[in-house]
Chain A
């Protein structure tokens, strides 16, 4: 679900084809019938953006049919835990959870807690938006439970009540997927789960690019937790990450709200004034994250070297403190307001790839300077000359004061370094040839920019100069171009001892006393010795091997391939079945062992239980049967007491723009979604007759990334020579559109013209008794290169997921008509 894997992750899809050859059932749930659908055993069509209704239906099917893996879920999830009396469900609460502040559009989490406790969340991104701390009761006792599952506020009973209305009939009514197809999918998943079998889900941005994207993935996590498909071979939820080290840019983040490897960014409005305050507020009392101080101090030591000392809080004051949401979407709006003076664009082409392209152009036109690094001209680099606003006459190049610098970059084969993507796999690639002319790697650019800044600040005495002055910035340079050595960067990320600069072998060696430095604790082990770069390893398992491929590159953390793999053994430490064994307790050696690196304290026996009389902390507070060690209670959270901004359970809301009313609640869309309506970014009201069609965007196999790398190459450009919109034969007939006719797509944000691809890949759906048409368009075109076409993202609005601020690209509404825009010929003629 949420991906067209065969076309967009074709290398990874080979593994699914092989699994199918060995007997696996492949299912594709998607608004479009794609090449992935064609290769699957079951294709289930759904309306774009209705995934939670579909997944909620599966959860209900599993619960009401008693298909859940009882031994697994009772031992390893919070299904028996009791939630506070004040918890209120959307079913009884007008479509919102208890704690909702309608004026602020946000939730207070107090009533979602385990009874009598205050639970920390596990992910830094949650903390950046919600002030936590004040954790209560976690070291006193385990959460209260009712093992009979009869307590009305047990998670089990809450789940049953919450999903009771997600019947196959309701699934069909909301998603448009026929009941019989939905039930075939449900039965296939149940059949593939249990002691002997496991099922997995693969998703990509078809799940994340929604206002409720995080909750879609949460719904899948509940389902997999109930079915025992987590931490086991062949199970899990596979995040199909972008080709260009998207996972890596989250781990060692280009994100504004996290420090490397998921440490919370300090916040000016949280109790983070000093390092001690920060650690006191952010360190969970129980679970693995109790080690946070070690990772934080070692990060500061890696960044600021000798300047970081105990008596100056390890230079904690050098870290910038968050004041607000500085993600790309609000900052685009801020750019329009003239707040920003300049911008660096590395590895992206926002005029094509960011939503609401016209607003992006307006923002860029307000800058003083813009640095674009790419290996060819991009739409972002020449918006001032060829942009839509210039073409329409709203702006002229003479009116745009932005000074644009286009700096040529090296291609992937012209530089060495790592790519981290799906499976958290860190893979090294070597340089093949030197980049031509003035082209340089991004690492070269950042490194030399840093050197020049340090020279400029060398004599600075102001407090604000110290973060740059103290920054460690000593990487070996190679050749006449003074290319910094990326292996040295990776060694720093891995971590080392400060006294004798010896590489760390594992994150268990990281300390909070200044004796170790580490740029990203989850990567420790990727470079365990000088000269030993594990990311370069290329030794796959043979045909009879375990399939974990521990000799191929490095998967963080600790080269572990399956997270939470303690769950692949039963509570006593024995494999759930021989067929599905992965990690188990070796009673003779008194340690965990298996075909993967155990994700547990290696010597903690299965029967270990915390001594609550001692108020244990950290891992001492988790029993030997608690595999989910990053959670404060060691359990898979079917119900999330803390952290999520839009509810402890996934609940179905219509997309922010939708042609239908929410069949479940009077609350139409996610009440905590980030919306910024304003001139130029207006949203369509629900069921607006001017915009009756569901619109979704997608990628093409033939055009890579934002399109530029392949649109400028004749041999790939000719494979997809022009932008198009996919519409069904039925809609084409209704509107009088023939295949390859010109059409105009419009929203309140803008309008574009492209040719029609009339295809049965896109089908109308019957939603609540009405015919709803869906149309789709690739978003990878622009005005540069050989393969050109209007930019799909012109149509989209700037809106954000409540938790991540990720934009919505997969389900909006639009209008469609035959013909052309006046600017393209003036006649409006469509043929």
Chain B
């Protein structure tokens, strides 16, 4: 099906796959509509959905999940903006997003 060819590898946790996709994007710097961004977006969405499920399950780490969810939603906005940019790709923002994701992964590990 269209769009599924960029799905995260099944063996990787989505947040790690998203990080790898962002690293690839920063390495290759695709001009427009880079598939790396598509993959990063899909992985971040999977990560977001997992956090949403956890929050709805009402687990004890609810407050932390809520904070993480806010951060992931912000990251999706940035990566989606890089995937479908207004003008040129905002690379400095992508670099900051990559760093924020790496920190989030470390904090939630």
Contacts and interface: CB of A to CB of B under 8 A. Distances in A.
Contacts of A333: 3, 84
Interface residues of B, number: 28
A681 B2 contact: yes
A334 B41 contact: yes
Contacts of A680: 1-3
A442 B100 CA distance: 40
A394 B2 CA distance: 12
A676 interface: yes
A129 interface: yes
Contacts of A394: 1
Interface string B68-81: 00100000111011
A103 B88 CA distance: 10
Given A336-B2, A337-B3, A105 B31 contact: yes
Interface stretch (A141-149, A186-194, A197-205, A317-325): A317-325
Contacts of B78: 268, 323
A324 B86 contact: yes
B89 interface: yes
A269 B41 contact: no
A130 B86 CA distance: 7
Contacts of B90: 269, 323
Contacts of B42: 337-339
A129 B87 contact: yes
A675 B31 CA distance: 12
A325 B1 CA distance: 24
B88 A339 contact: no
Given A337-B45, A362-B1, A104 B89 contact: yes
Given A130-B87, A362-B3, A680-B3, A323 B32 contact: no
A308 B3 CA distance: 43
B45 A324 contact: no
A679 B5 contact: yes
B58 interface: no
A325 B93 contact: no
A325 B88 CA distance: 11
Interface string A777-789: 0000000000000
A792 interface: no
B33 interface: yes
Contact of B38 (A103, A128, A322, A337): A337
Nearest to B89: A104
A106 B87 contact: yes
A733 interface: no
Interface in A421-472: 464
A105 B5 CA distance: 25
Nearest to A130: B87
Contacts of A678: 2-3, 33
B98 interface: no
Interface in B47-98: 70, 76-78, 80-90, 93
Contacts of B84: 324-326, 330, 333-334
Nearest to A267: B86
A678 B88 CA distance: 20
A121 B107 CA distance: 45
Interface size class of A (residues with CB under 8 A): 35 or more
Contacts of B77: 268, 323-324
Interface in B15-31: 31
A220 to B, nearest CB: 26
B70 to A, nearest CB: 8
A509 interface: no
Max chain B C-beta neighbours (<10 A), residue from A129, A257, A334, A681: A334
B2 A359 contact: yes
A131 interface: yes
Nearest to B66: A462
Nearest to B5: A679
B89 A337 contact: no
Contacts of A105: 31-32
Max chain B C-beta neighbours (<10 A), residue from A103, A324, A676, A678: A324
Contact of B86 (A104, A325, A464, A677): A325
B28 to A, nearest CB: 12
B4 to A, nearest CB: 9
A49 B80 CA distance: 31
A337 B41 contact: yes
B86 A103 contact: no
A330 B32 CA distance: 12
Contacts of A337: 3, 6, 38, 41-42, 45
B86 A339 contact: no
Contacts of B93: 268-269, 323
A572 B85 CA distance: 47
Contacts of B88: 101, 104, 106
A231 to B, nearest CB: 32
Interface in A305-342: 322-326, 330, 333-334, 336-339
Contacts of A362: 1-3
Nearest to B29: A103
A320 to B, nearest CB: 9
B49 to A, nearest CB: 8
B31 A679 contact: no
Contacts of A323: 77-78, 80-81, 90, 93
Contacts of A104: 31-32, 88-89
Contacts of B3: 333, 336-338, 362, 678-680
B2 A325 contact: no
A11 to B, nearest CB: 37
B101 to A, nearest CB: 15
Given A104-B32, A104-B89, A678-B2, A339 B41 contact: yes
Nearest to A681: B2
Contact of A322 (B1, B32, B82, B86): B86
B55 to A, nearest CB: 14
Given A269-B81, A324-B82, A131 B87 contact: yes
A339 B2 contact: no
Interface string A674-692: 0111111100000000000
B89 to A, nearest CB: 7
A61 to B, nearest CB: 36
Contacts of B87: 106, 129-131, 645
Contacts of B33: 675-678
A362 B87 CA distance: 28
A339 to B, nearest CB: 5
A336 B6 CA distance: 12
A324 B80 contact: yes
A257 B90 CA distance: 17
Nearest to B82: A324
A486 to B, nearest CB: 33
B66 to A, nearest CB: 9
Interface string A372-416: 000000000000000000000010000000000000000000000
A268 B76 CA distance: 13
Given A104-B31, A105-B32, A679 B45 contact: no
10 contacts: A103-B31, A322-B81, A323-B78, A324-B77, A336-B2, A359-B2, A362-B1, A679-B2, A680-B1, A681-B2
Interface of A: 101, 103-106, 128-131, 257, 267-269, 322-326, 330, 333-334, 336-339, 359, 362, 394, 464, 645, 675-681
Given A269-B90, A681-B2, 6 more contacts: A104-B31, A128-B86, A268-B78, A330-B84, A337-B45, A678-B33
The 3 closest A-B pairs by CB, nearest first: A324-B81, A680-B2, A323-B81
